[in-house]
């Protein structure tokens, strides 16, 4: 799921994410894509039908995606990765430095433990403990990041998460079934 939001069709974005999640199709959501992955998961898996995004519906009583305490800009950030996670495995370490992208919204810290316990696990945080990377348990590749690893291509670098996404997609290659 591409960065930048709000999307022309929030429901269309959520339908795409749900299809990938339910059909075990590899998906990587970055920035706005990740934010919508949080909304889809909390609504459809956790049953929190009122879960919403502060940028789109700031008046909502249940904001799962809220403004970050420190907007994520084109600066270098150190992330701590969960030991033993697929995220840490992809990076080959338990911490990394990232500098890609601009994100202003992320997972509301008040819901972080609940979402993680439901299976969309927090596997990367910044030095302040704010969520930056999540992965879905039991899925071949369902990752969300609040930075844009795809931008590493501008520097001629294959980012570890992009490499793992491509591997998962290649392993998943199947004849086209169409989308319901």
Which tens digit of pLDDT belongs to each residue from 18-28?
999 999 999 99
Q: With a cut of 70, say whether residue 128 has pLDDT above it.
A: yes
Which CATH number does the domain 10-171 belong to among 3.10.450.50, 3.40.50.880, 3.20.20.70, 3.90.209.20? 3.40.50.880
User: Looking at beta carbons, which pairs linking 53-57 to residues 24 or more positions away fall under 8 Å?
Assistant: 53/5, 53/6, 53/10, 53/105, 54/105, 55/5, 55/6, 55/104, 55/105, 56/5, 56/6, 56/10
Check pLDDT > 90 for residue 98.
no
Give the predicted TM-score (pTM) of the model.
Answer: 0.86
Least confident of 15-24, 96-105, 119-128: 96-105
pLDDT in the model for residue 159: 85
pLDDT digits (tens, 9 = 90+) for 30-61: 888 899 999 999 999 999 999 999 988 899 99
Domain boundaries, the chain: 10-171
Mean pLDDT (whole number) for 3-7: 57
| Predicted confidence band of residue 148 (pLDDT cuts 50, 70, 90) | confident
The owner of tokens 């996670």 is: 85
């Amino acid at each position: 799921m591409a960065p930048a939001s709000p999307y022309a069709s929030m429901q269309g974005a959520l339908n795409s994410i749900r299809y990938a999640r339910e059909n075990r199709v590899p998906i990587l959501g970055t920035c706005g894509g990740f934010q919508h992955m949080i909304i889809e998961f909390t609504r459809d898996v956790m049953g929190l039908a009122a879960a919403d995004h502060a940028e789109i519906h700031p008046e909502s009583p249940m904001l799962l995606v809220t403004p970050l305490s420190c907007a994520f800009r084109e600066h270098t950030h150190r992330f701590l990765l969960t030991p033993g996670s697929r995220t840490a495995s992809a990076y080959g370490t338990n911490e990394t430095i990232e500098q890609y992208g601009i994100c202003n919204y992320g997972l509301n810290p008040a819901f972080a433990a609940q979402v993680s316990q439901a299976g969309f696990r927090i596997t990367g945080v910044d030095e302040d403990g704010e969520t930056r990377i999540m992965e879905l348990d039991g899925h071949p590749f369902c990752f969300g990041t609040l930075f844009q690893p795809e931008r590493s291509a501008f520097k001629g670098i294959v980012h570890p998460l992009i490499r793992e996404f491509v591997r998962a997609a290649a392993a998943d290659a199947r004849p086209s079934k169409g989308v319901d």
